[in-house]
Structure 1
Amino acid sequence: MKDVTILPFNGKTPKIHNSAFIAPGCKIIGDVEIGPESSVWYNCVIRADVNFIRIGARSNIQDGTTIHCDSASPATPNGHPTIIGDDVLVGHMVMLHGAKLEDRAFVGLSTTVMDGCVIEGDAMLAAGATLTPNKRIPSGQLWAGSPAKYMRDLPEPAIAGMRMGVAHYVENAKAHKAAIEAADS
């Protein structure tokens, strides 16, 4: 992976499935696992130096996103790892910190998701929103604003569109990987 930084930290080396796409400019540090057909786009930082980060299958982490986790404290003895399930869409320039995105969650452009938050499957956090600590977005709901609040239930076509977005990113990642390999040869 040319122009990608993969850095072991505290005895933990990132584990990246061989079918995943990691774009140039990415920095992946510490106790990170990235699953099959997932994609991490240009100039993302995934830093698991104080807890762990897991990214499931077919999830995409779009350009400029930063993912970190939270260390243990008296209030949270296990801290807050960041866990991203399968088929998750994470928009450009997102900040994820110690949160859980369940399978098929959607996080819009330039959002912030803070410690202890959970976004359930088929739920969406709208572009520009901030989900403050320990909030949960239930399945099928759209939340927006800063701080984010419930806006409405998502109609079935919107949920279907999110699923189509996952398939698009899997194919687009393959095309980018091929383009980079061709340019390097």
Structure 2
Amino acid sequence: MLFEHLGVGPRVDPTAQIAPTAVISGDVTIGPDCQVLHGAVITAEGGPITLGRSVIVMENALIRASASNSVHIGDHTLVGPMASISGATIGDEVFLATGTRVFNGAHIDARCDVRINAVVHLRTHLPEDSVVPIGWVAVGEPVQVLPPSEHERIWDLQQELDFPGYVFGLDRETPDLMVQLTERYGRSLARHSDDRPVEGA
């Protein structure tokens, strides 16, 4: 289904195929020959999303933009089943395997291969032709690609990237961090109450 959000509806090239159970919401542009499969959700939460030519978004994938982090996905890129992209820029000919997670402000350059359940973290830049192995974490700038067993190193790098500050504008040391985060984010998400289905979609 296609929904208008914040007064803007999706624009879908006539050659693109959207499964009837996919949800496309807001300022989303889907280019020629794209395929969006069953259960996929592409939602522009105040920032635009653009899919280039021949992008495939597989079952139950989630693509989300925010006011501070738009999403661009380049030509001939595949977003695997249950993958998640939040506010990131993805280059051409990228493979994001099943269950991958790409976070706000990340940049993945052309022809990268992010394998099953791998993570490209907040504000991380993955150069052209990089590989993130199964279950590993790419983090930082310059990027370090680490196995999940190196949790302490990953956490040290993540703290410098400041997820709550960058994504939600909140200091990690705020005593009631989760109270403020959920209330602020909840108000933002409540704007969906005015969404309208796009006629004829």
What is the TM-score with the length of structure 1 in the denominator? 0.72
The residue that corresponds to 1:67 in the other structure is: 63
Q: Is the 8 A contact 2:93 2:111 kept in 1?
A: yes
Residue 130 (structure 1) shift: 1.4
1:1-47 deviations in whole A, cap 9, x for unaligned? xxxx1111111110000000101211100000000001101111111
Partner Cα distance (2:49, 2:114) in 1 = 20
Q: Which runs of 4+ in 1 moved over 6 A?
A: none
Residue 146 (structure 1) shift: 4.3
Q: Is the 8 A contact 2:45 2:66 kept in 1?
A: no
Partner Cα distance (1:56, 1:109) in 2 = 20
Residue 124 (structure 1) shift: 1.0
Q: Is the 8 A contact 1:137 1:143 kept in 2?
A: no
What is the TM-score with the length of structure 2 in the denominator? 0.67
Instruction: Determine which of 10, 13, 16 is the counterpart of 1:14.
Output: 10
Identity %: 28
Partner Cα distance (1:146, 1:69) in 2 = 24
Matched, 1:103 2:82: no
The residue that corresponds to 2:137 in the other structure is: 147
The residue that corresponds to 2:176 in the other structure is: none
Aligned residues: 140
Matched, 1:58 2:58: no
The residue that corresponds to 1:174 in the other structure is: none
Higher relative strand content:
1
Computing the radius of gyration from Cα coordinates, the structure with the larger value is 2
Instruction: Determine which of 116, 119, 124 is the counterpart of 2:108.
Output: 119
Residue 119 (structure 1) shift: 1.0
Where 2:26 maps in the other structure, the secondary structure is strand
Any gaps of 5 or more consecutive residues in structure 1? 72-78, 152-185
Partner Cα distance (2:98, 2:45) in 1 = 25
Partner Cα distance (1:131, 1:111) in 2 = 8
The residue that corresponds to 2:33 in the other structure is: 37
Partner Cα distance (2:66, 2:19) in 1 = 25
Please tell me the residue identity of whatever aligns with 1:94: A
Any gaps of 5 or more consecutive residues in structure 2? 139-143, 147-201
